[in-house]
A and B are shown apart, each in its own frame.
Chain A
């Protein structure tokens, strides 16, 4: 029997969450239907499909295959990746170009890039059968809604979801800041993607993003290893290495982390940082700075730099780093498995050194071979294993409860508070009880 709403409601309290949300396959299946099947899910960036017929495929939750494609008029569509005939997945490759039309490998039906069925072979066999090729049910179906904000394409399987910008609320400022860091106001995907399999529940990574009580513990080893070696180098040699300014802030003190602050929004979004973050002390490339000032003027450039966030979560699928220009995308697979994709972005009009630093960051922090990601994953794994114990049914999120400041469209709290987790579970509950959009 599926979980009743009363049972679901009991899994989340204001300061505790039940262990079943992490380890119960039934809860996972419901999450796929009610969270991932209702929320706006990040699909990809428009720069991944620059030309007519270019496509990119992914799943919207653990199963539903979709394809993002650009048509000959320049519009980007998100379609169900399913043939209108027998239901075969139409596009198998992750990306490519469907010249002219999508063609099904099975019986050769073809479809325009907007999903409209184009031709079917030996059509006379349908004469006088009641079959109507013009019936839209034969097309590749569009997802309920898709939309793009500054090139970032989202889709939702729910026709009840509010429009994308309303749904993002104040968290939208972070997309603006990411793009405004380009002298041309635009970013594009560059340098390829990293994929990282995590054998644990998908929620650990989004709860970890702005959990600032963990870096000085989990990442102590890499910070010390880096510091120990750096101490043997001449000072001039250290200055030329971006690795130091990327790795060392992970050892930041509790006071520094607290100072970043966390801001939470409706629908589970949040970011930490704002005035400052662990990325705030990165050196500024002089050539980049020159181009920014030429584009925006001194004052606006300073304003753009001064909004410095660490991670911004667009619950549940996307987290972005504005100051670093990379994003991570969560793709759930099973109750104890998900894949994280790390995409790096070029700031259009910026010197190549900026993309090079972004890629260095992605490699140092987010790759399977990094010295940061594997220690995070190790801890998620241990939680996944530990929660099977019956010692307690609950996971706590008490830190600084009751001290959050309600600012109307957002809630502000201390950087080391559990405001991020509480924000996520308020949304979790609303989506799971199907009250999010009512």
Chain B
């Protein structure tokens, strides 16, 4: 770990992001992303490319904005049932810097999701690319590596 990284601040930021997904508030969640921010959940292990390979999610700002509006739309029947999550994040590590200087942070996550009278568990690793700004951060990209990306999942109606 390099000395100039304040891992406590990084931790705080990741916890803050997770809290906006626990009881989904996509307005606040989206504000944590840079204008060119992306959210990516590959559909296979070791996937390198979100454009030439298939993913469960690969949203840029435009898709996030559409999803935010869809999530609260009264006619989106899959959103009639509340979704609530509990994110646990740990093993937070500084994994270097990207070419453009973004901080690369990896962490492990376990998310328990309650939806449609059922509790489901997701687990895996996150990789965040963070832009340091005004004592806090903006997310340039978040990659969600499920331990079982190839499994047949049921609907995932909220970002993990």
Contact = CB atoms under 8 A, between A and B. Distances in A.
A371 B51 contact: no
B54 A191 contact: yes
B73 interface: yes
B76 interface: yes
A362 interface: yes
B149 to A, nearest CB: 10
How big is the B interface, by class?
35 or more
Contacts of A217: 75
A225 interface: yes
Given A352-B52, A356-B51, A369-B41, A220 B75 contact: yes
Interface string A209-236: 0000000011011101110110001000
Interface in B28-64: 41, 43-44, 47, 51-58, 62-63
Contacts of A352: 52
A195 B44 CA distance: 11
A195 B151 contact: yes
Contacts of B53: 191-192, 359
A374 B66 contact: no
Interface residues of A, number: 46
A194 B56 contact: yes
Contact of B78 (A193, A196, A362, A374): A374
Given A192-B43, A195-B150, A373-B155, 19 more contacts: A194-B43, A194-B54, A195-B151, A195-B153, A196-B154, A197-B154, A222-B70, A224-B73, A225-B73, A226-B66, A355-B52, A356-B52, A362-B54, A367-B57, A368-B56, A369-B156, A371-B76, A374-B155, A382-B77
Interface of A: 94, 190-199, 217-218, 220-222, 224-226, 228-229, 233, 241, 243, 247, 339, 342, 344, 352, 355-356, 359, 362-363, 367-369, 371, 373-375, 377-379, 381-382
List the 7 closest pairs (A to B, CB-CB), nearest first: A225-B69, A221-B76, A221-B73, A195-B152, A374-B155, A225-B70, A374-B78
Interface of B: 41, 43-44, 47, 51-58, 62-63, 65-67, 69-70, 73-80, 116, 150-157
8 contacts: A191-B52, A197-B153, A224-B69, A243-B63, A339-B152, A356-B51, A363-B57, A369-B157
